[in-house]
Chain A
């Protein structure tokens, strides 16, 4: 069979040889002016609601601030404290474990779902059904699974009992707690992630698939040679978004395990909130947040560079 199929991919150079003589809208100050104009409303929102609070947060990380009296400058003390804080390192480890399980399973499942929907059944109904878990608020999802997976009264253990498995304390057992929370969120977000990938699949021109069909390519080749490369910008988007969102997990932990048992689910965002609002160590919490922020920025930056996602094979 034809394993080597030449797939016609429009090259990036096809556009550059057309240079209209009359109006030059490409490059130069004119284009920049228009660009900034288009950017203006979003820029305003960004500056006021994101940049200023972030800068303030950065500033607070160098202070002792208990929210109710003025902040006092302490320099790098919070960061020193952070390095020597076993709970901080624990929270990093716990969150990393969560992210790996959550993203690993979720991306795989979502990709599979998106492909299935794309190739098998394009109906809105199925798409709607898959998206339903996303519509339910995180708090209700957490409470629902807290009950369904309850070791004494939950339906999951009831079913396990039918096949002869002893009840598992999904939220109570240290080794099960984080994977359980990860899987609860896979359930909630798999449809949403699949929808994003599906939107990307739809944007792939049908002509490419038609050409591949004409050449007699099989599904696997089509997947690797057409779908994945064409999906690159969207896949990067999805991965960056889901990884960043995953690192910031909070709601499920706050409703179910609250950091227990014995700190095995004390994820970093929960630790931050606890320090900020319960212990009034807002400066220290800000320092931890800064570290989290830098980690995430590093991850995003690395991902974007690795996948060259600011280019696309069509543009």
Chain B
């Protein structure tokens, strides 16, 4: 059987591989370019020239509306709704919410994953499967009871109310880390046990550092999910001082039945709200790269 590509042999195989990778990069990026093109267009002229690949009637209006720099008249002239947007406040709120959720979720889920993978106890697999079933819980089941609980705890319109259901764990996080923890070789742990370390030490000093790649990956993914949460924060937190960015930027969607969205504003909003995450990834992404091929045994 001939191999699809061989690194040391035929350069053609390598070129084919690069071609495929570049194709995927283009496929990933083209719609994002389309978003940028639309964000820099004037809504009013947008559909007068639907075939253009360049921004139509170039304007920064979309971005101005998102950042709250546009007056009502300016906004309405370009097809926006003129609702006021305190961008930096909502950004701050999103950062608070997402960071809290990420820290809590990653930490507590890691502890649970450790329990499910590195410790032996009766019923371990059964309880793990039970946790796993939480992945499949239909959203309509959790929405109302969680909302009523938050209301009864008096946490409506607070950060705690938004954070609470996600703070302790999600089945995804536990599952994800457990699979990775399973893959860690036993030798290091055994050595530590012989040296008299407690499980707590093993967890913090050995397992977590060894798993910095999956943990970092999980942290990034959790942050992204928390950042993009829309419906729950919409229900729970309405006041300006706790409103998150995604909810605030919902103003660019169509507001009336059969209406059309503020396309330029919407695309600008989506791009702008993705920027903080991109920055985060650029900063912490290196950590994901730098822990390649940990050999484990010193």
Tell me the A residues contacting B by CB distance below 8 Å. Answer: 10, 14-15, 18, 20, 22-23, 25-27, 31-32, 34-36, 38-39, 41-46, 48-54, 56-57, 67, 109, 112-113, 116-117, 119-124, 126-140, 143-145, 147-148, 153, 155, 158, 187, 190-192, 195-196, 199-200, 202-207, 218-221, 230, 233-234, 236-237, 240-241, 244, 248, 250, 269, 272-273, 276-277, 282, 285-286, 289, 292-293, 296-297, 300-301, 304, 309-312, 314-315
Contacts and interface: CB of A to CB of B under 8 A. Distances in A.
A57 B108 CA distance: 26
B52 to A, nearest CB: 10
A187 B20 contact: no
A219 B114 contact: no
Contact of B31 (A49, A113, A145): A145
B194 A20 contact: yes
Nearest to A233: B179
A219 B285 contact: no
Interface residues on B, range: 35 or more
A263 to B, nearest CB: 20
Interface of B: 1, 3-7, 14, 17-18, 20-21, 24-25, 27-29, 31-32, 34-35, 47, 50-51, 53, 108-109, 111-112, 114-116, 119-122, 124-125, 127-129, 131-142, 144-146, 149, 164-165, 167-169, 171-172, 174-176, 179-180, 182-187, 190, 193-194, 196, 198-200, 203, 213-214, 217, 221, 224, 228, 230, 246, 253, 261, 263, 266-267, 269-270, 273-274, 277-278, 281-282, 285-286, 288-289, 291-296
Contact of B168 (A42, A54, A126, A304): A42
Given A202-B291, A219-B7, A244-B135, A153 B182 contact: no
Question: Which one of A121, A135, A221, A301 has the greatest number of beta carbons of chain B within 10 Å?
Answer: A135
Contact of A124 (B137, B169, B285): B285
Contacts of B14: 120
B21 A120 contact: yes
A310 B108 CA distance: 21
A45 B109 CA distance: 10
A144 B174 contact: no
A292 B127 CA distance: 21
Contact of A312 (B124, B133, B183): B183
B112 A39 contact: yes
Contacts of A202: 213, 288, 291-293
Contacts of A219: 3-7
A187 B296 CA distance: 36
A241 B135 contact: yes
Contact of A135 (B27, B135, B168, B274): B274
A129 B29 contact: yes
Given A137-B246, A233-B182, A132 B274 contact: yes
Contacts of A22: 196
Contacts of B138: 57, 248, 269, 272, 289, 292-293
Nearest to A48: B149
B182 A312 contact: yes
B168 A310 contact: no
A35 B124 contact: yes
A20 B194 CA distance: 6
Nearest to A27: B120
Given A39-B111, A130-B25, A140-B270, A49 B168 contact: yes
Contacts of B224: 134-135
A203 B141 contact: no
Contacts of B146: 49, 53
Contacts of B51: 155, 158
Contact of A310 (B125, B169, B193, B289): B125
Given A34-B119, A45-B169, A52 B145 contact: yes
A286 B141 contact: yes
B70 to A, nearest CB: 20
A233 B35 CA distance: 37
